[in-house]
C-alpha cells in the first residue's frame, strides 16, 4: 500500500522541516521528487539524503512567490502527478502589530506562492488525465489563536483555495486536499521562538508543547505519513477535505 512508484511529485519548501520529511518519504515510496526551494543549500541537503537512500530527486532554486520562476521550473518537469504546496513563512502579531509589508510578505509566499504552483500543476495534470494536490493549511485555518493575524489570513486562504480547486477540477480527475497541523517541531517553530521570545526559548518551547492536549509538538514525519496517504491511490475517494493533525488542538482544547 501507499506506493508512489512511477509518480512525479513536486514539493515546495522541501529543504526543511515538513517539506523535507515529505520529500524523503515520497522518494522512499518510489516517487521521483522535484523540490522547489528558496534556500539552495538546504535543498542540497535533502537531495543528498534522498540520493544516499537510492531515491530519485531534483532540486530547483525557486521563490514560489514569483510566477515567472515557478512557470520556468514547471516547464522543466515532464509531468506532475502530485503537488505538495508546503513552502510557507510565519509572522507573529495581531492586527495592529501587522504592517502592510508584513501582510504583503506573508500573502506573497503563503497564498500567491500556492496559487502560482496550483496554476502550473493543474495545467499539466489536466493534460495527463489527473493528479493529487495537498496544501499545507494549519489549525489557524479553523480556530483563532493569539497574535497570528497575517498568518491566519494566509492559512484561511489555503483552506478556501483547496475547496475551490477540488470543486472545479472534479471532472479533470484532480483531487485536492489540505492538512492542518498544530505545532510541529521544525526550524520554522525554533525560528519564531528565538526571534520573538529571546532568552525565553526553553520556557516557550515547553508552553507551546503543552498547548497540544496530547502534550507535545508533532513530528515532521507524522505529517509526512498523512501526506503520503492523501497523495496515494488509496485515498482516491478523498477530495475537498481538510485533515487536522494536531494532537487534539482543535477538538479537545476545552
Ligand atoms: N511547523 C509547524 O508548527 C506548522 C504548523 C502548521 C502549518 N505549518 C505549515 O507547514 C509548512 C512547512 O512548515 P515548516 O515548519 O516545515 O517550515 P520550515 O521553515 O522548516 O520550512 C519551510 C521551507 O520553505 C522554504 N521557503 C520559504 N519561503 C519560500 C519561497 N518563497 N519559495 C520557496 N521556498 C520557500 C524555506 O526555505 C524552508 O525550507 C508551512 O506552510 C507552514 O505554514 C507548519
pLDDT tens for 121-141 read: 999 999 999 999 999 999 999
Atom of ligand 1 at shortest range from CA of 185: 1
Confirm or reject: Cβ of 23 under 6 Å from ligand 1: no
Choice among 60, 115, 151, 169 that is catalytic: 151
Residue 66 covered by a domain:
yes
Confirm or reject: Cβ of 247 under 6 Å from ligand 1: no
> What does the pLDDT read at residue 67?
98
Ligand 1 center to 90 CA (angstroms): 8
Confirm or reject: Cβ of 64 under 6 Å from ligand 1: yes
Q: How confident is the model at residue 254 (pLDDT cuts 50, 70, 90)?
A: confident
> What's the CA gap between 252 and 54, in Å, rounded?
41
Atom of ligand 1 at shortest range from CA of 191: 19
What pTM was computed for the model?
0.97
Residue 113 covered by a domain:
yes
> What does the pLDDT read at residue 245?
98
Ligand 1 center to 87 CA (angstroms): 4
> What does the pLDDT read at residue 82?
99
pLDDT tens for 193-236 read: 898 899 999 999 999 999 999 999 999 999 999 999 999 999 99
> What does the pLDDT read at residue 187?
87
pLDDT tens for 134-188 read: 999 999 999 999 999 999 999 999 999 999 999 999 999 999 999 999 999 998 8
Residue 202 covered by a domain:
no
Confirm or reject: Cβ of 63 under 6 Å from ligand 1: yes
Atom of ligand 1 at shortest range from CA of 90: 43
Q: Domain range for residue 113?
A: 8-182+218-244
The reply to whether 151 belongs to the active site is yes
Residue 253 covered by a domain:
no
Residue 188 covered by a domain:
no
Residue 27 covered by a domain:
yes
Residue 205 covered by a domain:
no
Domain count, the chain: 1
pLDDT tens for 30-76 read: 999 999 999 999 999 999 999 999 999 999 999 999 999 999 999 99
pLDDT tens for 84-123 read: 999 999 999 999 999 999 999 999 999 999 999 999 999 9
> What does the pLDDT read at residue 128?
97
Which CATH number fits the domain that encloses residue 144?
Answer: 3.40.50.720
Residue 134 covered by a domain:
yes
Amino acid at each position: 500500500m501507499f506506493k508512489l512508484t512511477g509518480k512525479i511529485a513536486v514539493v515546495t519548501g522541501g529543504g526543511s522541516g515538513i517539506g523535507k520529511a515529505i520529500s524523503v518519504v515520497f522518494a522512499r515510496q518510489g516517487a521521483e521528487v522535484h523540490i522547489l526551494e528558496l534556500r539552495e543549500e538546504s535543498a542540497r541537503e535533502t537531495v543528498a539524503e534522498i540520493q544516499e537512500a537510492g531515491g530519485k530527486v531534483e532540486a530547483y532554486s525557486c521563490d514560489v512567490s514569483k510566477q515567472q520562476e515557478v512557470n520556468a521550473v514547471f516547464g522543466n518537469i515532464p509531468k506532475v502527478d502530485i503537488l505538495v504546496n508546503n513552502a510557507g513563512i510565519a509572522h507573529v502579531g495581531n492586527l495592529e502589530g501587522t504592517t502592510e509589508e508584513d501582510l504583503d510578505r506573508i500573502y506573497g509566499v503563503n497564498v500567491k506562492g500556492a496559487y502560482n504552483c496550483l496554476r502550473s500543476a493543474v495545467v499539466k495534470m489536466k493534460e495527463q488525465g489527473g493528479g493529487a494536490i495537498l496544501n499545507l493549511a494549519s489549525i489557524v485555518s479553523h480556530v483563532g489563536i493569539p497574535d497570528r493575524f497575517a498568518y491566519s489570513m494566509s492559512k484561511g486562504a489555503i483552506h478556501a483555495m483547496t475547496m475551490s480547486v477540488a470543486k472545479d477540477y472534479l471532472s479533470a480527475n484532480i483531487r485536492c486536499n489540505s492538512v492542518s497541523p498544530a505545532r510541529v517541531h521544525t526550524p520554522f517553530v525554533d525560528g519564531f521562538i528565538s526571534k520573538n521570545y529571546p532568552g525565553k526559548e526553553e520556557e516557550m518551547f515547553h508552553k507551546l508543547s503543552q498547548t497540544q492536549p496530547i502534550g507535545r509538538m508533532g513530528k515532521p514525519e507524522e505529517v509526512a505519513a498523512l501526506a503520503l496517504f492523501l497523495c496515494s491511490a488509496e485515498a482516491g475517494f478523498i477530495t475537498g477535505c481538510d485533515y487536522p493533525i494536531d494532537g487534539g488542538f482543535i477538538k479537545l482544547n476545552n
